[in-house]
Amino acid sequence: MSQACKIKFRQDALRVRSMLCAHDPLGLIRSGASADAYDVYATKTLIILHKIKNGQQTPADLQVYLNALGDGAASDTLCAELIAVANGLDDESPAASLDRK
């Protein structure tokens, strides 16, 4: 994997993590956790976004995942924001191959 690809993946992951932290669906930030508490969720979300972009999953799949994380009301807005991010993702990102399920 190229250095540029690694950098792009990290930028995408940080962007998704920032969005998750802003909405804080698990209440981690409100309870005093640092932003990196959302790293695992950001990576999984990024994988789902790549699958949506590539037609392997739908926005409804993302909605189900986000609903499982927290309350449905917050996830509606977060889902819409994340779907907008999906269009700008790089097809070469390693997130596209992290989860083959």
- The token duo for 35 is 């932003």
What pLDDT was estimated at residue 100? 46
What pLDDT was estimated at residue 17? 96
Mean confidence (pLDDT) of the chain? 85
pLDDT over 50 at 2, yes or no: yes
Does the pTM of the predicted model rise above 0.85? Answer: no
Tell me, what DSSP letter sits at residue 37? G
Tell me which of 51 and 99 has the higher pLDDT: 51
What pLDDT was estimated at residue 101? 46
Of the pLDDT bands very low, low, confident and very high (cuts 50, 70, 90), residue 97 is low
Q: How many domains is the chain built from?
A: 1
- Please give the residue range of the domain that contains residue 40: 3-98
